[in-house]
Chains A and B, each alone.
Chain A
């Protein structure tokens, strides 16, 4: 519903469709019949947030309860924010157009560290006190979930409750508890204490952190019976786990404008740089029947003519061919195309290609991640150069002429030889094109190399690693650029400055709260966007607060140091991460979960890939 005050501003801003709601399948309820109003905030623009699958799942799940009304809230773009502030219009929910100031829950999904400034800015725009201790009543409960919750500490001063792990069950348990507490006129403190007893809930205000003189953590102690270790929640049976039959269909074009089915959670591979590969363990698949039904229902209910099979590595689905065959039974007749993102180099086969509708042969993207075999062994990206070359050969023979290759620079143990290896690998792909007999006639090949700078993340074997300094990263970028001699290879790289700030917040502690608070006062926002991001401005704040960002990003940590996120249990033992880290420095790989169980600890959940073999034996 359009907020009356907003209406007059809409023609003065870019893409007003971002701010009006009213899409097909959006949920409008009568607010007098509601007990709990939940503002689901995505701390980025509409087009980005509306592409996020987690939000779609939770939005539908919450709204299925008749006493909850969940609305979507996005960060207004710069032009709209300016007008809203000028006209004194608080941040509003798209479904009702109401200000979210007095909502019961303000929930954020934390997808990337650079969105933290937007989280605080959105609270500010909603006229909600940003600090948890300044919100005294049982209302305006600020909750957060998503991958960045695995190190919640930088946001500990602001968020009342973090959801650790997957939200389908724990979110509702907390909402129901709130509803009870509200009926019984309990205080916010009482509610938070009760909430902390729910598995998967972390209430930062119930923990006390003490520091050593060198600023490392001395102790991390729970108060008021809060658990010393907070365990993640996860859905073990993906076939019975809630999945929406309907998506809100945006009226304006968004980034991923299609139906999505999640085919499994987790990843068998164990690439050592990848946080998702560790925090979502174990791999849990949906059955072909379930995926088929969900895809078909979603396409029917939304009108989308494209469905994407989403996962961390789609070709690792145990029966991907069987799945595609099943979907093709109706998809061709109904003019629906199937897309498979996240294809591994070794998962790109003729068989798969023939079954996914590839109308536009515009480009193929692969992620070898590192330029030499040695470094790929260090990071446990078990992809061989030959596999990449064979895959490209197949693709070129199939009519493709553009290949995009993703790499990281600044990985542990990386040398300049490894950096040069990136250019050599790209050159090898170019040469492969000219070896192909069936390559498209009269067309040249384009290989695009894209490098990002490695950011060490919590719960990975590289969580102790000191990130390369910005100077080294930029020098490596320059070296790679100088190594490339042909115009058939394009080189793009991500700005090292953003990766540096990301590294600071990814492994930061509670002391960073002060920095974020000042940044919010100064009006920082949209740091994930080059329109707004300025490392210089951030460094000034760090200086002002007397905090050295290098301490978090660049410092090499010891195995025996207490890390800010050690109190969280994501199912993978710390000893296992230490073992993996040591193996990395010995250039030794670890086989993936289906080849061999490496005893990471996730088997304690009694399901998923850890027990696939047992299931087959029965």
Chain B
């Protein structure tokens, strides 16, 4: 039995597939492609796949990852090509690798966010964003299992970069992610809307995952 990581991009229409549906979609593609993956041995046997860090509904993913076990040897290139034939175009496998780090090593995720707002110009938007990150404290409501809680996201925003180019206003940010702490980038959107009374749109792409030493997840 061999553990492998299947790396893929999730974009276009497919970014609106929820994590649960992505799981189903992947299993169907694995079944169709005939790649020999391990099935659970329980009462209701089913093919087994795990995802180290699920992507929020609506986000684009440039470096998403699925973990499966192969029951027989299977060429990595064949896995990639055969799976791509069986997946909707919005999901593209780009690499298949051996497992190096553990899923629980993931501590941070990196996002690229295109910000836009119909009410104000991009220059104003950029100014607002700079103002927001200059504040000593950024309070937003966060939904938790126990209900809505107000938290300060400022301490998590030490790796932020703003960029204004022809395409619009971009925010690059590294946020805690993984099994311990998770800060969703949409909390920043929420803060923008709250502090400046605007309706800003965030087009979010998750670009990478890191361990606690900011080493890229493999």
Query: What residues make up the interface of A, taking CB atoms closer than 8 Å to B?
Result: 1-2, 8, 10-11, 15-17, 19-24, 249, 251-253, 300-305, 335, 359-360
Query: Is B32 part of the contact surface with A, judged by Cβ < 8 Å?
Result: yes
Query: Is B25 part of the contact surface with A, judged by Cβ < 8 Å?
Result: yes
* Complex: A48 Cα to B38 Cα, angstroms: 32
* Complex: A2 Cα to B11 Cα, angstroms: 11
* Complex: A11 Cα to B21 Cα, angstroms: 16
Instruction: List 6 contacting pairs A-B, 8 Å CB cutoff, sorted by A.
Output: A11-B58, A22-B13, A252-B21, A253-B24, A359-B44, A360-B44
* Complex: A17 Cα to B86 Cα, angstroms: 19
* Complex: A24 Cα to B39 Cα, angstroms: 24
Contacts of A335 in B (CB 8 A): 31, 39
A301 and chain B: residue at smallest CB distance = B32
Contacts of B17 in A (CB 8 A): 17, 251-252
Task: Name the 9 nearest CB pairs between A and B, nearest first.
Answer: A22-B13, A303-B32, A303-B28, A20-B13, A16-B16, A24-B88, A251-B17, A11-B58, A17-B16
* Complex: A138 Cα to B89 Cα, angstroms: 36
With contact pairs A17-B21, A22-B89, A360-B44 given, residues A10 and B28 touching in the complex (Cβ less than 8 Å): no
With contact pairs A11-B58, A251-B25, A252-B21 given, residues A302 and B89 touching in the complex (Cβ less than 8 Å): no
Contacts of B44 in A (CB 8 A): 359-360
A8 and chain B: residue at smallest CB distance = B201
Q: Do residues A2 and B86 form an inter-chain contact, with CB atoms below 8 A? A: no
* Complex: A253 Cα to B45 Cα, angstroms: 19
Q: Do residues A253 and B32 form an inter-chain contact, with CB atoms below 8 A? A: no
Write the nearest CB–CB distance from A22 to chain B, whole angstroms: 3
* Complex: A301 Cα to B33 Cα, angstroms: 10
A305 and chain B: residue at smallest CB distance = B31
Write the nearest CB–CB distance from B204 to chain A, whole angstroms: 10
In addition to A15-B18, A253-B21, A303-B29, 4 A-B residue pairs with Cβ atoms within 8 Å of each other are A19-B16, A249-B28, A252-B18, A252-B21
Q: Do residues A2 and B12 form an inter-chain contact, with CB atoms below 8 A? A: yes
A24 and chain B: residue at smallest CB distance = B88
Q: Do residues B57 and A251 form an inter-chain contact, with CB atoms below 8 A? A: no
A251 and chain B: residue at smallest CB distance = B17
B24, B31, B58, B88: the one contacting A22 at CB < 8 Å is B88
Query: What residues make up the interface of B, taking CB atoms closer than 8 Å to A?
Result: 12-14, 16-18, 20-21, 24-25, 28-33, 39, 43-45, 57-58, 86-90, 201
B20 and chain A: residue at smallest CB distance = A253
A252 and chain B: residue at smallest CB distance = B21
A25 and chain B: residue at smallest CB distance = B88
- Among B17, B86, B89, chain A packs the most CB atoms within 10 A around the CB of B17
Write the nearest CB–CB distance from B39 to chain A, whole angstroms: 8
With contact pairs A10-B16, A22-B13 given, residues A251 and B88 touching in the complex (Cβ less than 8 Å): yes
With contact pairs A16-B58, A24-B86, A251-B21 given, residues A302 and B13 touching in the complex (Cβ less than 8 Å): no
Contacts of A16 in B (CB 8 A): 16, 57-58
* Complex: A8 Cα to B189 Cα, angstroms: 14
Q: Do residues B32 and A300 form an inter-chain contact, with CB atoms below 8 A? A: yes
Q: Do residues A303 and B86 form an inter-chain contact, with CB atoms below 8 A? A: yes
Q: Do residues B16 and A24 form an inter-chain contact, with CB atoms below 8 A? A: no
Q: Do residues A251 and B13 form an inter-chain contact, with CB atoms below 8 A? A: yes
* Complex: A15 Cα to B32 Cα, angstroms: 25
* Complex: A20 Cα to B89 Cα, angstroms: 13
Write the nearest CB–CB distance from B29 to chain A, whole angstroms: 6
Contacts of A253 in B (CB 8 A): 20-21, 24
With contact pairs A16-B57, A252-B17 given, residues A22 and B90 touching in the complex (Cβ less than 8 Å): yes
Contacts of A11 in B (CB 8 A): 57-58
Contacts of A10 in B (CB 8 A): 16, 58
With contact pairs A17-B16, A252-B21 given, residues A23 and B28 touching in the complex (Cβ less than 8 Å): no
* Complex: A23 Cα to B24 Cα, angstroms: 13
Contacts of B58 in A (CB 8 A): 10-11, 16
* Complex: A578 Cα to B21 Cα, angstroms: 51
* Complex: A360 Cα to B45 Cα, angstroms: 10
Contacts of B57 in A (CB 8 A): 11, 16
Contacts of A251 in B (CB 8 A): 13-14, 16-17, 21, 25, 88
B203 and chain A: residue at smallest CB distance = A7
- Among A8, A16, A249, A251, chain B packs the most CB atoms within 10 A around the CB of A251
Q: Do residues B24 and A2 form an inter-chain contact, with CB atoms below 8 A? A: no
Write the nearest CB–CB distance from B100 to chain A, whole angstroms: 29
Contacts of A360 in B (CB 8 A): 44
Contacts of B43 in A (CB 8 A): 359
* Complex: A21 Cα to B90 Cα, angstroms: 10
Write the nearest CB–CB distance from B28 to chain A, whole angstroms: 4
- Among B32, B44, B45, chain A packs the most CB atoms within 10 A around the CB of B32
Contacts of A252 in B (CB 8 A): 17-18, 21
* Complex: A253 Cα to B17 Cα, angstroms: 10
Write the nearest CB–CB distance from B53 to chain A, whole angstroms: 20
Contacts of A23 in B (CB 8 A): 13, 88
B21, B28, B30, B33: the one contacting A302 at CB < 8 Å is B28
With contact pairs A8-B201, A17-B18, A24-B88 given, residues A2 and B32 touching in the complex (Cβ less than 8 Å): no
Contacts of B20 in A (CB 8 A): 253
A23 and chain B: residue at smallest CB distance = B88
* Complex: A427 Cα to B173 Cα, angstroms: 65
Contacts of A21 in B (CB 8 A): 13
Contacts of A305 in B (CB 8 A): 28, 31
